[in-house]
Amino acid sequence: MTVPPKRTPNGALIELLAIMERLRGVDGCPWDREQTFESIAPYTIEEAYEVADAVERGDMEHLKDELGDLLFQVVFHAQMAEEAGHFDFEAVAAAIAEKLVRRHPHVVLRGAGANGGSDAAGVARIGGGVGAAAGVERLTVAKQLAVWENIKAAERSAKAAAASVVGASGTAAGSPGALAGGPSALAGVPTALPALMRAFKLSKRAARVGFDFEHADQTADKVAEELAEVREAAANAEARVRAVPQAGPLREAGASDRAVPQAGPLREAGASDRAVPQAGPLREAGVSERPPPSPEIVEEVGDLLFAVANLARKLDVDAESALRAANLKFERRFHGMERLAAARGERFETLDLAAQEALWQAVKRGE
């Protein structure tokens, strides 16, 4: 593989910033001009996921394009902020540079430039490279993570203190999660994070202050407990449905409107892991639809998912990556069933459950 020559980013970045300014200008793009922070934020999230997708597929050419799309989102937000008088792209870059220096005190040293003054373009002297100070401890990954978490905790405390001062002046409210004795251990975990990732971060923060199970098997017991509560809530809801006789033309004689128990990852060990078609809105016309889930079921399923995310953290498993891999596996196997059915001259959707199950097991054996 030919490695392209290293280029300075200044020229391309300056051009990108200028293009963004023109797009938002008086004679710019109407769509770009009408965008706000709120309207652009979903695109920012989408582009971040597309970066992750390119990485997962090992597609470096696509990764280059997606990183550009994500950088454009940063530039877009910075341009809108500059127009509103908040900050500009230079301030964004300066803030992250300062944060990296602050959070890596053992490897990033502020050195002197050639003229003996502050070398703003090259203040970092990384690891064992030129300029590293003698005697600086080389930390293990575990120690580095501990140092990083302590530094971030100190940063949150400083922000909370500053917010309290501002709040006391009557010009702004205190920051979310701020307490009388200092910031909450959970302060600063963004609410806009994907729910699984946020559950991971919340449980990790709680564990840092001692609110955690000692062993992973205790966390697994909590998952079993939450699953039992989901089953109980579902049974209660089922009993309520059965207690109310259904009437009307939508009722089909002999047809059950009960959701079929799910196969797959939610089934106990040894059972088929193929997803069983759901009753309700996805069922064919003529079969009564189930009422929406009760608040009790929604709450208990949420508790179960949080417990599973916590178990993943306890086992040092990235829950988001694990679920993404499980999604890909299910998708691969389902496509395999469809192809196998087509090769036999059959239409998958017309097969009964037993035949579909046989296809699923055949695909699994072939992997």
| 216, 311 Cβ separation under 8 angstroms | yes
In a domain, 18, yes or no: yes
pLDDT of residue 197: 86
Q: What is the pLDDT of residue 147?
A: 67
Residue whose pair of structure tokens reads 């469809």 in the numeric block: 338
Q: Which residues are 118's β-sheet partners?
A: 112
Count of other CB atoms within 10 angstroms of residue 212: 15
Q: What is the CATH number of the domain that holds 56?
A: 1.10.287.1080
Tally the C-alpha atoms within 13 A of residue 254's C-alpha that lie toward its C-beta.
0
pTM listed for this prediction:
0.55
What is the predicted pLDDT for the residue at 267? 42
| Cβ pair 355, 337 in contact under 8 A | no
Q: How many folded domains does the chain comprise? A: 3
Q: By the 8 A CB rule, do 293 and 240 touch?
A: no
Asked if residue 122 belongs to a domain, the reply is: no
Q: Is the pLDDT of residue 319 over 60?
A: yes
Is 280 inside any structural domain? yes
Q: Which two tokens stand for residue 311?
A: 């178990």
Does the residue 104 lie in any domain? no
Give the separation between CA 46 and CA 73, rounded to whole angstroms: 10
What is the share, in percent, of the chain residues with pLDDT greater than 90? 45
Domain containing 153 equals 137-188
Same domain, residue pair 268 and 174: no
Query: Is 76 in contact with 40 (CB distance < 8 Å)?
Result: yes
pLDDT digits (tens, 9 = 90+) for 266-299: 444 444 444 444 444 334 444 446 678 889 999 9
Position 110 in a domain: no
Averaged over 55-71, what is the pLDDT? 94
| Alpha carbons 234 and 293: distance in angstroms, whole number | 9
101-116: pLDDT as tens digits: 887 776 655 443 444 4
Does residue 150 share a domain with residue 226?
no
Judged against a pLDDT cut of 90, whether residue 32 lies above it is answered with yes
**Cα(319)–Cα(309) distance, integer angstroms:** 6
Give the Cα separation of 111 and 130 in Å (integer).
11
- The amino acid at residue 79 is Q
- DSSP conformation class of 22: H
In this structure, the answer to whether residues 302 and 232 fall within a common structural domain is: yes
The residue-averaged pLDDT of 145-166 equals 64
Residue 233 has pLDDT above 60, yes or no: yes
87 has a pLDDT exceeding 80 = yes
Q: Is residue 115 part of a domain?
A: no
